[in-house]
Amino acid sequence: MNQIGLTHFLILSTSLFFIGVYGFLTRRNLIVMLMSVELLLNSVNINFLAFNKYLYPGKMDGIFFSIFIITIAAAEAAVAIAIIINLYRRHKSIDVEDAEALKD
Amino acid sequence: MTEFLFLLKHELILGLILVILLIMKIGSKSMTNSSLISLMNGLLFINFVAGWFLNREGVLFGGMFQNSSLLVFEKNVLSLGTWIICLQSSAWMKNHKHLPEFYMLMISTLMGMFFMLSSGNLLMFYIGLELSTIPLAAMCNFDLEKANSSEAAMKMIMSSAFSSGILLFGISLFYGMTGTFSLGGPSYNFDGSPLQVLAFIMIFSGFAFKLSVVPFHLWTADVYEGSPVAVTSYLSVISKGSMVFVFASVMYTAFRGIASVWYDGLVVLSLVTMIVGNLFALRQNNMKRFLAFSSIAQVGYILIGISGSSESGMASSIYFILIYIFSNLGAFGVISLISAHTGRESVDDYKGMYKTNPMLSWVLALSLFSLAGIPPTAGFFGKMFLLTAGAAKGNYFLITIAALNMIISLYYYLRIIRAVFMDKNENSLPSVQGDFGSRLALICCVVGILITGFAGGLYEYILSLSHGL
């Protein structure tokens, strides 16, 4: 069979990306929505590493970018979970449908 | 060696303020809120004034960070806006338990915006962007006891995390095509292949989320309504202003090669944004929500300016943001005073306000006239330059629709003014007395609204800074 190449990685990352988008748009539990966002970010990491490995093997730009993404995603998740905890204290639920006081 | 001190001056000053805040938070528990507020107002004023001196142009960190006189001007505009917001929200801040943290979050977001503006590299841009949005979501939650505030923060963090995921996917495709993250480097080989267009669309949608361009605007009104008024004005003026600056410069530098592709996209989005923003603003009954939709409509006009040629587009959008800061903060200053003293925010509460608060009514009316673009105020000149910049491309259909939209917008701005000046109300607002800081902020806004339009040299000055873009 064929060697595993850039295309395989791109197919993997793109499907992961759209699974994340689908999960974000359909799930109503805030924690699961946060997990879907992590899927988006991880698909981006795969993209960066695959491009770096196959197209620009001499440089390290892609690897550095994915390290920064992992770090910032951790910070983002920390703030998001703090906000979700506070939301739970006010609404007694982490379902998006229960937090809908604001609409037109 | 000392070069970096001058190039990074704005960011270093903000860092210094952060350290001062941190030491005070750890060191002295006895500091009262009102003395902290006066100290911070002083420090932010020093930050604004110091921004004008000892500036250099150049690059740092191998091109990752750049500074130019245009960027210095943009940063000073943002510093001015932050100072005004801190002045006018003192009535709300006075009774808050966690004031030092609020200032820390606010100044870190401002620092993130400065790094984002100065970025010469997509990595730097991304870090600056996240530094300016993550603390902002925490700021939205600052009315800790209110359920609406936590809901607004949840919507803010979820939509910004989702949009930065999309933006990052675009950046990764961009990296795959070009092998570099540099924004201002040699122009890339753009030939309009599908991959390039896809990467562009994803980066563009990430920007559109942050700018709240229709159809990516759904979070805006909810977040604006739920957050404390100080945060709402910060979101709608400073955060949006910095995104406009970055958006314009990224379009003109990195994506110059596919200008024909993004021109069409920009035209369609600006049409939809103006129309939807205006139509939804017609039926709002909450002042913050109303200003949210009006700010969406204003973004539509800004996109027209950006769709013009690079120099005049850049200059007119910066000039408009400067005017927009004064007019929007004038309106938010009045709303924030009234909300802090009485807790009332709906349009019906403002009926008959002229009887009890004549000065505040005049300030509100002047700001709304400026937002609507009525001639003696600065807003007229801002919109005129935006439309002139857009008309340079010869797309008169777009300009006509924009002019019609401005007429629609007159209706809802005048509706507020009618409620304030003409309608009768038995249960009208009590007379509200602002302290020295909020009065000073309102005076700054009024002077800005009246002067910026007639100071004819200002636009030429900004235009001269944007040369060579």
DSSP character at residue B27: H
Distance CA B199, CA B139 (A): 32
With CB atoms and an 8 Å threshold, state whether B154 touches A61. no
How much is the pLDDT for A80? 94
The reported pTM is 0.93
Distance CA B53, CA B367 (A): 31
Fill in the amino acid letter for B67: N
Length of chain A: 104
A56 touches chain B (CB under 8 A): yes
Contacts (Cβ under 8 Å, ≥6 apart) of B230: B85, B88, B89, B92, B93, B336
Give per-residue pLDDT as tens, B201-210.
999 999 999 9
How much is the pLDDT for B362? 92
Residues in chain B with CB shorter than 8 Å from the CB of A92 are none
- Considering only CB atoms, B221 lies closest to which of A37, A96, A104, namely A104
Token digits for B196?
């390039």
Give per-residue pLDDT as tens, B115-143.
999 988 899 999 999 999 999 999 999 98
How much is the pLDDT for A1? 56
Contact B295, B289 (CB under 8 A): no
With CB atoms and an 8 Å threshold, state whether A83 touches B172. no
- Considering only CB atoms, A76 lies closest to which of B161, B171, B181, namely B161
Length of chain B: 469
Distance CA B240, CA B238 (A): 6
How much is the pLDDT for B53? 86
B162 touches chain A (CB under 8 A): yes
Instruction: Write out chain B's pLDDT in tens, 469 residues.
Output: 688 888 888 999 999 999 999 888 887 666 788 888 888 999 999 999 988 888 888 888 888 888 888 899 999 999 999 999 999 888 888 888 888 899 999 999 999 999 999 988 899 999 999 999 999 999 999 988 888 899 999 999 999 999 999 999 999 998 988 888 887 655 566 777 888 888 889 999 999 999 999 888 889 989 999 999 999 999 999 999 999 999 988 888 878 777 777 888 889 999 999 999 999 998 888 888 999 999 999 999 999 999 887 788 888 999 999 999 999 999 999 998 888 888 888 888 888 888 888 889 999 999 999 999 888 888 898 999 899 888 888 888 899 999 999 999 999 899 999 988 888 877 777 888 878 888 999 999 999 998 888 877 888 888 888 776 6
With CB atoms and an 8 Å threshold, state whether A75 touches B134. yes
